[in-house]
Amino acid sequence: MKKSFILFGLSMTVLAMFTGCSQQVKLQTGMENSSTIKSCSYDMTVSADATGLKSNSSDTGIAAGLDAGVSSMLSAGKVSLNFNGKMLKTDDRSKLSSNVKVSSGGVSFETPIYIDSSNTKLDFDLFVGVPAIFKDVLGAELANISNLHLASKDLESYVKSNSSADENKKFQDSMTKLFDNKGNKNTQVSKDMLLSFNTYLTKNKAKVQTFAKLGDASASKNGIYTIKLSKEDLKAIVSDYFSNETYFTNFKDAAKETEGLYSVGASDTVKPVKVDDAKTIISDYNKALDANKTVDIVATITIAEKLITKTNIKFAVVNTDGNVTFEIDSKLSDINNVTSIVAPDKNSDKTLNIMKLIDPSTK
């Protein structure tokens, strides 16, 4: 009997060890941990590619112009936008530097961007590089300028000088609401959408989700998730989200909050926002999806040490007017190891305060 208990105890210990080793890291865990990243280097490319694209002859006016413009741009070849840089976030401020490269139809240009902003109020410094390809077009005033600079204090001063006391107060109030995380309904909407999405994945993981090991690394901390969503999956996700009364209430509140942020200015003619009922929104979304033959999303998400380090998302649309594929590919490195990001010199002769172009009285 004693030997039996020892054998049982050893068996349970071995079983527990193997169970622990085989337990795979959860996708939600990777998402939650990644939201706490304080610094990193990143490389992200957003691209669009099309085949057989045709303009919609039923469109007129502005819609026709936009449709023709987009069709022309995509027909010229793959269009891509690459961001390569660093991010550093503290409790009070966030810094971001990036080299931005735009490519279309065999033509490309690059420009650096830097922003240092407060996490709690309107307080920022923004630098945008002037691409050489644009200098001839922008005029002699920018011929020797490398960076344009915009500071929040200059923007606030301009608004105060060129608006009434009531309009300035509305501007300041809108900025306070924008940075008020406690009352920011758009933040809550993002959380709701993520919860709704994760709930759908959990309920349908056998159909839409697969998991693979990341080399020889432990599956309890590392792995590759592949998520495949069809047009019908997208319909179900949208229906689940808007059918949730709490989520829909937050959505309507966010729409009203956004209206308040935009209803600032001397010619304030913003109309009260109108949000359709949930059933109408779901129906309209379904009609938009059904206008295409197929709509498919394939997302590949790599988790390393319980953090999402690589993401690739392909959104493919097939219809009678041609096929379009959108792709987002991103990679993170140096996670929580970036300690500083150096800003351009705003006092340099090659840096121009953009407010001088708008308001010559700016010092």
Segments making up each domain of the chain, as ranges? 24-358
pLDDT tens track for 19-37: 334 479 999 899 999 999 9
Q: Which residues pair with 109 in a beta bridge?
A: 102
At a CB cut-off of 8 Å and minimum separation 6, what does 129 contact? 111, 112, 113, 146, 147, 148
Between 14 and 129, the higher pLDDT residue: 129
Between 133 and 110, the higher pLDDT residue: 110
Instruction: Give me the chain's average pLDDT, please.
Output: 83
CB burial class (10 A; 0-12, 13-18, 19+) of residue 172? middle
Q: Residue 163 pLDDT more than 60?
A: yes
Q: How confident is the model over 77-88, as a mean pLDDT?
A: 92
Cβ–Cβ < 8 Å for 185, 250: yes
pLDDT tens track for 169-211: 887 777 777 666 555 677 889 899 999 999 999 999 899 999 9
210-228 CB burial, b ≥16 within 10 A, e <16: eeeebeeebbebbbbbebe
What's residue 56's pLDDT? 54
pLDDT tens track for 227-246: 999 999 999 999 999 999 99
Cβ–Cβ < 8 Å for 201, 209: yes
What's residue 260's pLDDT? 61
Q: What is the pTM of this model?
A: 0.80
What's residue 44's pLDDT? 97
Q: Taking each helix axis from N to C terminus, what angle separates 231-243 and 245-262, rounded to the nearest 10 degrees?
A: 90
What's residue 54's pLDDT? 62
State how far the Cα of 204 lies from the Cα of 200, in Å rounded to an integer. 6
